[in-house]
């Protein structure tokens, strides 16, 4: 169940998403990293800005926090993101020891262009990693967050390699 703090921090993530949308090379996914009720850092997708396909908002804030704290351990931190984290970002959360992920819009709320074609799901990654110490809260301000993105029925050009069909291994 989302708390008042969850709503407040998700609103901050939405503000970051709007910054990303207005920034040349930025994109409309926002994230906020919080520990003990204090915002450690906030950011948005910077992939085109940095020419870095891994510069998703979640990765951006984790990198900033780790650099500032001089650690790779983010236990006790909560990651707020306007969009359900992709597989890469979920795995980074697992590696960093993030304690809680709170996201707004989920896969079904937005166009498939925002996720890799292999349909790896945040919950599946965490379950497969046998992490029962990582809490996930989805759908926080989902309707408001989903307005930031293309709708499921909209036609959107899929340009990046993550959206190419998987070739069978056999």
Instruction: Give the containing element (helix H, strand E) for 90.
Output: helix 87-96
Active site residue 135: no
**Catalytic, out of 16, 28, 46, 58:** 58
Please give the Cα distance from 160 to 30 (Å, whole number). 20
Provide the annotated active-site residues.
58
């Amino acid at each position: 169940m989302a708390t008042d703090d969850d709503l407040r921090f998700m609103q901050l993530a939405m503000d970051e998403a709007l910054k990303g949308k207005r920034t040349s090379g930025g994109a409309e996914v926002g994230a906020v990293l919080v520990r003990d009720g204090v915002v450690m850092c906030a950011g948005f997708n910077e992939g085109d800005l940095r020419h870095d396909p891994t510069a998703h908002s979640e990765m951006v804030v984790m990198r900033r926090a780790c650099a500032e704290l001089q650690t790779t351990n983010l236990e006790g931190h909560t990651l707020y993101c306007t969009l359900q984290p992709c597989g890469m970002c979920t795995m980074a959360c697992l590696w960093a020891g993030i304690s809680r992920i709170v996201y707004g819009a989920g896969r079904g709320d937005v166009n498939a262009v925002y996720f890799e074609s292999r349909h790896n799901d945040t919950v599946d990654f965490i379950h497969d990693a046998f992490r029962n110490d990582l809490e996930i809260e989805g759908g926080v301000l989902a309707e408001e967050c989903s307005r930031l993105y293309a709708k499921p029925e909209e036609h959107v050009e899929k340009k990046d390699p993550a959206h190419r069909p998987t070739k069978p291994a056999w």
